[in-house]
Amino acid sequence: MNIKCFHFGVLRACCAVLWEKGPDCVVVDASFYEPEEKKSLYLFFRTAGLRPLAILLTHAHFDHIEGVKELSDDFGGLPVYFSFAEAPVIEGLEKNCHFLGQRVPSLDVPMRDIHDGEVLHFGDMELEVLATPGHSPGSVCYLDRKGRLLISGDTLFAGTIGRTDLGNGDYDQLMESIQTKLLPLDGEIEVFPGHGPSTSIAVERATNPFLQPFNEPYEEE
C-alpha cells in the first residue's frame, strides 16, 4: 500500500491518499479548507495518475470533513464511508463551527455505513475497519494488514491519545479501544494519526505515557 499524507486546515488534520498500483485510490479524511490546499491535493492526483474511488472518514469532527462535499462532487459523487454512530457529532456540527468561527462542512453526499471488522475493497486495496470509539462515538481506524499500515484518526497519536473533552467523548471507552484493538496489533505496523507525525505500534506500546499500566480505564467497584 502506498500512502501520501497532507496536513490541511487550521488544525492541520491529516488527509491521506491510499493506493496500490493505481490509478484507483481512496482519500481518508478530506480535510482541505483553503483553495490552495485543494489545488495541491488535486495536483497530486494528476501527477501520480490517480483517481479517487471513495472517501473514508475516521470520524466527523469538522476539521476532518471540510473538503468532503467538494471532493465527492468533483469526482462524480464519490461515496463517503463512515460509522453512522457519528450521528451526534454531525448533529452538533453547526453549533461547534459557529462557536469556533469556522464554516459548516456539508455532508450532502452519498453516505455508506461501516462496521467493526468489515473489510472494504477498492480495486486492489483491502482496508479493515476497526471501531475505536472514545474520541467520538463512531471513531474508526483503517488497517491494511498486508501492508502493515494503520490510519488511526484521532484515536492514537505519536506519544499521546485522542481528546475526550470535546463533547460525545468517553475516556474509558477510548482507552479500551486502544488497548483491545490497537496495541495487540503487529508492532511493525506504521501508524498515521489524524494530526502530527507517524509512529508505530511498537513505539507507542513502549513509550506512550498515556498507555502505561497506571493509565488503565477506570473500573467501578
pLDDT for 220 beyond 70 = no
Nearest to 160 by CA among 203, 118, 204: 204
In a domain, 221, yes or no: no
Nearest to 179 by CA among 160, 197, 205: 205
What band does 214 get if pLDDT is binned at 50, 70 and 90?
low
Euclidean distance between CA atoms 179 and 2, whole angstroms: 27
Q: The whole model's pTM is what?
A: 0.93
- The whole-number pLDDT of residue 217 equals 53
- How many CB atoms within 10 Å of residue 27? 29
In a domain, 174, yes or no: yes
What band does 219 get if pLDDT is binned at 50, 70 and 90?
low
Nearest to 66 by CA among 129, 134, 11, 136: 11
Domain that holds residue 73: 2-215
Nearest to 82 by CA among 105, 100, 49: 105
Number of domains in the chain: 1
pLDDT for 22 beyond 90 = no
How far are the Cα atoms of 26, 104, 156, 179, 198 from residue 175, in angstroms, in the given order? 28, 30, 10, 6, 20
Q: Which of 11-15, 55-59, 211-215 is predicted least confidently?
A: 211-215
Q: Is residue 57 within 8 Å of 81, Cβ to Cβ? A: yes
> Would you say how long the chain is, in residues?
221
C-alpha cell at 117: 471488522
What band does 119 get if pLDDT is binned at 50, 70 and 90?
very high
- The whole-number pLDDT of residue 101 equals 78
In a domain, 140, yes or no: yes
In a domain, 220, yes or no: no
- The whole-number pLDDT of residue 208 equals 95
Residue with cell 477506570: 218
Residue with cell 451526534: 88
Share of the chain above pLDDT 90, in %: 85
- Average pLDDT, rounded, for the chain: 93
Within 13 Å, how many C-alpha atoms sit on residue 161's CB side? 30
